[in-house]
Structure formats: C-alpha cells, structure tokens
Structure 1
C-alpha cells in the first residue's frame, strides 16, 4: 500500500472575533443607512441599527457615541467622502463643458441616485426643522462642496467660451433642482406610480441637460 501523501498545513484562520470587530463599523453604517432611509432619522432607534448589524447597542456606542454621530458617518461614507474622487475627475476631464455637465449628472445618478444613499436628501429635507444640527452638517459636508464643484464646472465653460456669463451662485441651482426632483420622485411617487408613469432617470437627466444648456426656443432661421 503506498504511503499516504502528507497533507499541506492548513492556513490558520484569523480569529473570528478579530474579523468581526474590523467589520463592525461598516456593517453599522450600512444598517443605519437602510433604516434611516426606510424610517427616517427620528423614528430610527440605535437598538434597531445594532440588531440589524448583529451587534449589541453597547458595541454600537463604542464606535458612534450618538445617533447624530452615526448619521454623520453614513453621510461621509456614502456621499461626502466621494468629493475628492469627483474633484479629480473634473480636473482630468478633456471633453467640452456640455459633455462635462452631462457626465457629472449621469455619474451622480449612478453613484448616488441608484444606491440606498439616494434617500438621504429626502430625509434631511423632511426632518431639518426638527433636527437642525443634521441639516447644518449636511450643508457643510454635502451641499457646500456640491455647489463648489458645480460652480467650477460652469466656470470652466465660461472660461472656455462655451457658456455665456452667468450669476454662478444661482446658476448651479439649475443643475441641482432636476436631481432633487428625481430623488424626491424616486422615494415618494415611484412606489405608487403605475409602470406607464414611471420616469426613466437617464432620459430625464438628458432632457434636463438639453433644456438647461440649449433652452426651448427653436433657432431662428436666417432672414
């Protein structure tokens, strides 16, 4: 009978407790995002977040001292933390400014609008009166940097002679307003709309870009 072949030594598994500890902050943020979007900030209890993440409430408080801190972590992880990435893409973009506007709005929809994070805007708008501290945080971490990014896009078009001079502090709202509408529609009306009345987000965005940058007037024919 041939001698049994020696079996390779098993790779030692990382201790379960250590792996679980490393995963906890991300799991808590994911659970909190789902519950905040589903129930709102006021109605979400930290006990529910901990239970959904599979940890105790005491463990949650080790990472996030309060529900407000947990909300801030959710916003930074899913939206605010992406601005360096978007700033870098803007700096490297080589196309014309019309295409940059279209790219920015498409990219925002793909990376935020199509994810659970799309519900954060509605949450902040609906609960800002009761929780001004989360509205102030959202203003500083998301709205302010978002306005600055869009302002740079429009200024790029002006500097290149592609756009006319505009009051930029107000013009940025022409890009923001359609996206807010799309978010509110997604989280308020889409669940109850018949399929025939549901919006296609990409077609909506492309239509808005065309309206913003070209207007509705038909070009005049030369006399």
Structure 2
C-alpha cells in the first residue's frame, strides 16, 4: 500500500472512531452528572448548589446538564434514585433469598446498610434531608416516598418474619419497632457528617463495633422470652 493510501486509510479509521468515542462519552454523561451532583449536594447542601457548578465539575455545559435533567430538583431526585431508592428491588430480593435466622437477618441488614450506604458518599443525602427538608417540602415528600417508606416496609418484613417464626415477641408494634433499627443508623450518619466534630479526639467511634452493638441491644429487646421466665 502506498504512503498516501496508508495515510488515507488511517484518516478514515480515525474519522470512524470519532462518532464511537463521542457516543461513549454521551452515554457516560448521565452517570458523570449524577456523581458530580452527589458530591456537590453533600458538600454544599441542596440550596447552595448551583446547576452551573454541577456542569463544570462533570465537564459539560449547563445546556447539556439541562438536556438530561430539566431542573435542579429533577437532578436531586435522580441522585436519590441512583444511589438509594433504585436499590430496593435488590434488597427486597435479598430478603426473599436469605436463609439464616431473623436475628441474623437483622444483623445483616444493619451491617450491609452501613457498608453500602452509610460508609459511602450517599450517606450525605440523609444528612442533607435532615437539614433542608423543611425548606423543600416537595423534595421531602419525594424522599419520604422513595426512601423512608420502602425502608420501613423492608424492616417490618424482617421483624414480621421473626414474629412468625417465634424468634421475636408476638404483639410488638412493628411500625414503631422499625425505628429501633433505623434510628441508630441515622445517628451514625450524623456522627460521620456533623457530630464527630463535637466528640473527644480520644474517643473514636468505630462504625462496625457500633452497628454490631446496636444490633445486639435491639435483638435482646425483640427476642422471645425463654419459657418459664419473666424476662
């Protein structure tokens, strides 16, 4: 092949590569935008985060951002769905497939929640909602529907499983018992994002030890009394 033909062939190949690269870049943009938005929402809060900042951090124009997400509210909802609420189908299937005891399931639930949400950037979403929910009632209602309600339903299913098997006490108010599992996890998030600054430097909070201890405390309250005992 002559040099001119070789250069021409390379030029054609390079030209053919351009749409493919552009297409890959286009397909990656929503994820890049959501990652950038999550970082900024956690760092600055919802109110203080501007759409332009998200676009800059993701390396795209503001127009590109609004092409995928028409408003900052839509962007926030997509961040919540990507990082938390979109995973409930997977978590509910794990409930169906779980083969251990209900006590084991409670421990698993709390540990896995910390590993997958609490220890990640996504935990900042909970802190953001605690601090800004009253100023954005539409987002608060969305978070209630997408995160809080499905989470409570899943915890209730775990507790009901234990009651049905005789592991947990019958007659518990499962609606309120569910808070005994979620409340310690919210505290751990607040320690991570806010309250740790108030804690003594010589008293570090180990998340794994904390989660396991809270699970033990909860389970001693849930477990059925041994036959013939008063407590």
What is the TM-score of this pair, normalised by structure 2?
Answer: 0.86
Inter-partner Cα distance in structure 1 for 2:104 and 2:203: 28
For structure 1, list consecutive stretches of 5 or more residues without a partner in the other structure.
1-8
Inter-partner Cα distance in structure 2 for 1:192 and 1:129: 25
Inter-partner Cα distance in structure 1 for 2:202 and 2:40: 29
> What corresponds to 1:74 in structure 2?
79
For structure 2, list consecutive stretches of 5 or more residues without a partner in the other structure.
1-9
1:60 to 57, 61, 65: 65
Displacement of 1:114: 1.0
Displacement of 1:204: 0.5
Which has the larger share of helix?
A: 2
> What corresponds to 2:160 in structure 1?
155
1:211 to 217, 220, 223: 217
> What corresponds to 2:7 in structure 1?
none
Is 2:131 aligned against 1:126? yes
1:201 to 195, 198, 207: 207
Deviations 1:183-209 (A, max 9, x none): 011000235645422210110011111
Inter-partner Cα distance in structure 1 for 2:216 and 2:198: 28
Is 2:93 aligned against 1:88? yes
Range with greater deviation from structure 2 (11-20 or 171-180): 11-20
Inter-partner Cα distance in structure 1 for 2:200 and 2:173: 40
Alpha-carbon RMSD across the aligned residues, in angstroms, is 1.8
Range with greater deviation from structure 2 (191-200 or 120-129): 191-200
Displacement of 1:25: 0.4
Is 2:146 aligned against 1:141? yes
What is the TM-score of this pair, normalised by structure 1?
Answer: 0.89
> What corresponds to 1:102 in structure 2?
107
> What corresponds to 2:182 in structure 1?
176
Inter-partner Cα distance in structure 1 for 2:209 and 2:81: 29
Deviations 1:2-40 (A, max 9, x none): xxxxxxx98964633212111110000000000000000
